C-alpha cells in the first residue's frame, strides 16, 4: 500500500493528496487547482497520519 498525505494550498485553500515521498523533501508541490508552487512546510494544514 502506497502512503499518502493530505496538504492544503496556502494560496487558494485547496486540499489534496500527495505521495508521501514528497513529504519533507526539497521538492515543491503544485496545487492542482490554482497551480501555485510551495514547499510542504508552507502548507497551513497537513494530515500525514
Q: Check whether 1 has a pLDDT greater than 80.
A: no
Looking at the predicted structure, is the pLDDT value of residue 45 above 80?
Answer: yes
Alpha helices in 1-49 (DSSP H): none
> What's the pLDDT at 30?
98
Looking at residue 49, its pLDDT comes to 85
| Contact yes or no for 40/7 (Cβ under 8 A) | yes
Whether 13 shows a pLDDT value over 80: the answer reads yes
Helix H or strand E encompassing 43: none
Average pLDDT on 4-32 reads 97
Cβ-contact 43, 9 below 8 angstroms: yes
| Confidence band, pLDDT 50/70/90 cuts, at residue 4 | very high
Q: pTM value? A: 0.89
**Other CB atoms within 10 A of residue 5 CB:** 17
Return d(Cα 9, Cα 42) in angstroms, integer.
8
Amino acid at each position: 500500500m502506497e502512503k499518502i498525505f493530505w496538504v492544503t494550498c496556502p494560496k487558494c485553500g485547496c486540499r489534496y493528496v500527495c505521495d508521501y515521498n514528497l513529504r519533507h523533501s526539497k521538492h515543491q508541490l503544485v496545487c492542482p487547482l490554482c497551480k501555485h508552487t510551495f514547499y510542504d512546510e508552507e502548507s497551513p494544514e497537513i494530515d500525514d497520519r
